[in-house]
Structure 1
């Protein structure tokens, strides 16, 4: 399992994952992925893309990252309003 050093490192990892997942559909050169980037409004991530992100997070950070379980525990409105920073903080809390 990879040891996490800081928020910026996690953000860079998540950015890379997102770019790999949606890079075909969204021109990331026109859009900076930051902590306040919305998965719904800004990135228009679909549910299957969240599944892929969940798998990539577990592959990168280990079994302690239950992203799918974390999402399942949230209310629909919270998922709709989910931001990249929420995922970064979740990863930080798991380690």
Structure 2
């Protein structure tokens, strides 16, 4: 059985998808108040709570399916790492799983 290689996934595309998902989780005014960059932190900069992260990962899972294991990703992190989690870390994780 042959598999079709997955084209390289552009991190900018993943960032756009993440921004769209965040717009469904956060108040648009709050999202516009904090520029979303690879360094933006979910908890410290965007004030996401744990339920917001669950909702966000659910939206991303619908988009990317089983290829991206968010429960496994979060389980691999210690609490301080989750609290300091940046947009860039999630973008790089998703892009890496899709390659």
TM-score (norm 2): 0.84
3-12 vs 74-83, which moves further: 3-12
In 1, the alpha carbon distance for the partners of 2:68 and 2:47 equals 23
User: What are structure 2's unaligned runs of at least 5 residues?
Assistant: 1-6
In 2, the alpha carbon distance for the partners of 1:42 and 1:53 equals 16
Of 24, 27, 30, the match for 1:20: 24
User: What are structure 1's unaligned runs of at least 5 residues?
Assistant: none
Residue deviations 1:44-82 (CA, integer Å, cap 9, x gap): 111111111111111111111111221111111111110
The alignment's C-alpha RMSD in Å is 1.6
Following TM superposition, by how much is the alpha carbon of 1:4 offset from its aligned partner in structure 2, in angstroms? 6.4
Higher alpha-carbon Rg: 2
Contact 1:51–1:68 (CA<8 Å) still a contact in 2?
no
Q: For 1:62, what is the secondary structure of its paired residue?
A: helix
Q: Does 2:54 match 1:51?
A: yes
In 2, the alpha carbon distance for the partners of 1:28 and 1:39 equals 11
